[in-house]
């Protein structure tokens, strides 16, 4: 009769509890679907995608510098005054041919008495007998409204290696953006896996907590019956009641932790945080085989790690920056072609219509002396390259340590799992013996409570060990640089 009542109460308790914790709207998600949703919706990865896109545009822009540039310049100017080349009418002396000398002589006034040219007493200049007059108005030009323009073509010939260096810089910048994104994806995938397996762990710990509550509840009802018939004391009943309250409190904590872990997983997946996410792997990650022997080639690890790849691209980029600084000290040659036009134009007189013509030439710029400015910039770039190389070497040393630690943790996780399996079996048998001894009257409630506590601890540790295998496996793949997603 006692066992039937306890069984009914346990079934009722489990039904009410499960109905309150697992809503009907809960959806089941696999690990791969969680990864895909996180990668698809993560804002950091979207920014990385835009960075890659921008780096691609920068590379195209750098390549365009090899090609000739064509520019158009238009101009309009209003001038208040005209251009007047003469302040008054110009009087120019004339000349006539002298057959005796075979030369042209100026027509000047000669004194008949002396035969010498007559000079102006004020200026001291000779006085011409005939002059050619240029009116002031003939040398006045209307430039109130001036229109002009030019089409210019510039073709770089030699820029000291600057163009090639810029193309290499943009290429490595794009590759850096890609490797940085790949590294960010691996970090995100690991975070999703960690959150996913945390939910799985808490799902199973919740089942364990419910089982423990039912276990203690059964003991509580048995002790109450024993108190009623006088074979147990009120103190025994109070001890079991305290343990029952602790079990319910632990179940509440697990429920709260499960809700928070679901929120964290939903946030990583880009879903509303109130989404009821049910992991597909609620049966835990089962793995009891020993890990296979791993022969890790560190050179392959270095080549696979995306963060190290980013640093290698950074070194190459720094080298090209040094080449760019060096180009500032070398000559630069370019070919320039231009068609210029204006209105008014002075091509054939001064006409108020559009007119223009072509011009072709070359420019050469040779840096001579800048007080060491460009050379010191070059040395700064070379120093930065050395710094990047040392940072890469330091990072490789840290990666080697990280790989060894991850491998140790991975192997240790299997050893821990094997021990928890043995402990779980022993705890089950210990609890069974304690319950039998309690029913036979040779063990006390304290003995049963201790056995129940040991049973709870053993099962909880086995869950942690199973989850630990999954997390250690994905972490090892991450540090080896071969995390698949």
Residue 375 inside a domain? The answer is yes
* pLDDT over 80 at 285, yes or no: no
Place of tokens 């809503």: 23
Closest to 31 (Cα-Cα) out of 161, 263, 198: 198
* pLDDT over 50 at 7, yes or no: no
Same domain (yes/no): 411, 314: yes
Q: Report residue 283's pLDDT band, with 50, 70 and 90 as the boundaries.
A: low
Residue 312 inside a domain? The answer is yes
Domains identified in the chain, total number: 2
Q: Does residue 158 contact residue 66 with C-beta atoms inside 8 Å?
A: no
For the residues 299-318, what does the mean pLDDT come to?
Answer: 94
Same domain (yes/no): 259, 324: yes
Residue 240 inside a domain? The answer is yes
Same domain (yes/no): 110, 178: no
Strands 103-106 and 95-98: antiparallel
d(CA 423, CA 401): 32
For the residues 258-278, what does the mean pLDDT come to?
Answer: 92
Cis status of the peptide bond prior to 344, with omega within 30 of 0: yes
DSSP 441-457: TSS-HHHHHHHHHHHHH
pLDDT the model gives residue 1: 35
pLDDT the model gives residue 255: 94
Residue 325 inside a domain? The answer is yes
d(CA 219, CA 352): 114
Same domain (yes/no): 175, 295: yes
Residue 177 inside a domain? The answer is yes
Q: Is 125 helix (H, G, I), strand (E, B) or coil?
A: coil
Quote the percentage of the chain above a pLDDT of 70. Answer: 92
Closest to 279 (Cα-Cα) out of 188, 183, 207, 185: 207
Helix (H) or strand (E) holding 117, with range, is none
Range of the domain at 101: 80-149
* The domain boundary residue, chosen from 149, 182, 201: 149
For the four alpha carbons of 114, 120, 124 and 128, in that order, the dihedral sign comes to negative
Residue 364 inside a domain? The answer is no
Same domain (yes/no): 306, 191: yes
* pLDDT over 50 at 4, yes or no: no
Question: What does the block give as tokens for 94?
Answer: 């004339």
d(CA 409, CA 396): 20
Strands 69-78 and 131-134: unpaired
Same domain (yes/no): 127, 267: no
Same domain (yes/no): 222, 89: no
Residue 344 inside a domain? The answer is no
Place of tokens 């004194």: 111
Question: What does the block give as tokens for 46?
Answer: 């979207």
* The domain boundary residue, chosen from 149, 169, 202: 149
d(CA 153, CA 72): 9
Same domain (yes/no): 93, 231: no
For the four alpha carbons of 278, 280, 285 and 291, in that order, the dihedral sign comes to negative
d(CA 135, CA 142): 16
d(CA 274, CA 128): 110
Same domain (yes/no): 170, 270: yes
Exposed, middle or buried by CB within 10 Å (0-12, 13-18, 19+), for 219? buried
Closest to 149 (Cα-Cα) out of 360, 336, 341, 345: 341
pLDDT digits (tens, 9 = 90+) for 382-427: 999 999 999 999 999 999 999 999 999 998 999 999 999 999 999 9
DSSP 113: T
* The domain boundary residue, chosen from 101, 117, 149: 149
Q: How far apart are the first and last CA of the chain?
A: 56
- Give the domain CATH number at 313: 1.20.1600.10
Closest to 161 (Cα-Cα) out of 378, 323, 367: 323
Same domain (yes/no): 97, 226: no
* Tally of CB atoms within 10 A around 401: 10
d(CA 300, CA 310): 16
pLDDT the model gives residue 386: 96
Residue 250 inside a domain? The answer is yes
Closest to 354 (Cα-Cα) out of 194, 148, 162, 180: 148
d(CA 117, CA 105): 12
Average pLDDT over the chain, rounded to an integer: 87
User: Residues for the chain: how many in total?
Assistant: 485
pLDDT the model gives residue 38: 95
pLDDT the model gives residue 10: 40
Same domain (yes/no): 182, 96: no
pLDDT digits (tens, 9 = 90+) for 171-197: 999 999 999 999 999 999 999 999 999
Same domain (yes/no): 262, 380: yes
d(CA 334, CA 158): 7
């Amino acid at each position: 009769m006692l066992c039937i009542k306890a069984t009914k109460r346990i079934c009722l308790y489990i039904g009410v509890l499960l109905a309150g914790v697992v809503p009907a709207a809960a959806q089941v998600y696999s690990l791969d679907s969680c990864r895909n949703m996180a990668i698809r919706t993560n804002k950091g990865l979207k920014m990385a995608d835009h960075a890659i896109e921008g780096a691609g545009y920068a590379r195209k822009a750098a390549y365009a510098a090899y090609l000739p540039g064509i520019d158009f310049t238009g101009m309009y100017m209003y001038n208040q005054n005209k251009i007047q080349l003469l302040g008054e009418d110009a009087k120019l002396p004339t000349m006539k041919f002298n057959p005796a000398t075979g030369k042209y002589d100026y027509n000047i006034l000669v004194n008949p008495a002396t035969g010498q040219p007559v000079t102006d007493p004020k200026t001291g200049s000779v006085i011409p007998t005939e002059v050619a007059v240029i009116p002031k108005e003939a040398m006045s030009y209307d430039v109130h409204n001036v229109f002009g323009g030019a089409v210019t073509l510039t073709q770089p010939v030699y820029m000291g290696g600057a163009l090639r260096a810029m193309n290499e810089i943009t290429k490595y910048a794009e590759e850096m953006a890609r490797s940085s994104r790949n590294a960010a994806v691996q970090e995100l995938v690991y975070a999703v896996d960690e959150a996913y397996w945390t939910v799985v762990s808490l799902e199973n710990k919740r089942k364990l907590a419910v089982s423990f509550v039912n276990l203690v509840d059964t003991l509580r009802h048995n002790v109450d019956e024993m108190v009623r018939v006088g074979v147990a004391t009120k103190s025994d009943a109070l001890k079991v009641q305290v343990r029952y309250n602790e079990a319910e409190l632990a179940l509440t904590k697990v429920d709260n932790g499960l809700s928070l872990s679901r929120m964290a997983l939903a946030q990583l997946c880009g879903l509303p945080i109130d989404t009821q996410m049910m992991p597909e792997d609620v049966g835990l990650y089962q793995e009891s085989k020993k890990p296979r022997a791993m022969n890790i080639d560190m050179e392959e690890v270095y080549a696979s790690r995306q963060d190290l790849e980013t640093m290698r691209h950074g070194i190459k980029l720094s080298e090209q920056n040094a080449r760019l600084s060096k180009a500032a000290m070398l000559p630069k040659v370019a070919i320039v072609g231009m068609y210029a036009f204006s209105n008014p134009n002075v091509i054939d007189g001064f006409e108020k219509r559009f007119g223009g013509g072509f011009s072709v030439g070359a420019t050469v710029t040779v840096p001579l002396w800048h007080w060491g400015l460009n050379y010191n910039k070059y040395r700064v770039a070379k120093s930065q390259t050395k710094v990047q190389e040392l940072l890469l070497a330091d990072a490789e040393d840290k990666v080697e340590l990280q790989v060894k630690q991850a491998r140790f943790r991975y192997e240790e996780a299997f050893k821990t799992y094997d021990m928890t399996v043995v402990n779980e079996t022993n705890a089950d048998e210990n609890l069974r013996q304690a319950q039998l001894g309690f029913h036979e009257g040779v063990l006390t409630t304290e003995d049963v409570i201790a056995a129940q506590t040991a049973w709870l601890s053993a099962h909880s540790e086995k869950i942690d060990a199973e989850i630990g295998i999954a997390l250690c496996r994905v972490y090892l793949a991450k540090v080896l640089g071969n995390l698949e997603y």
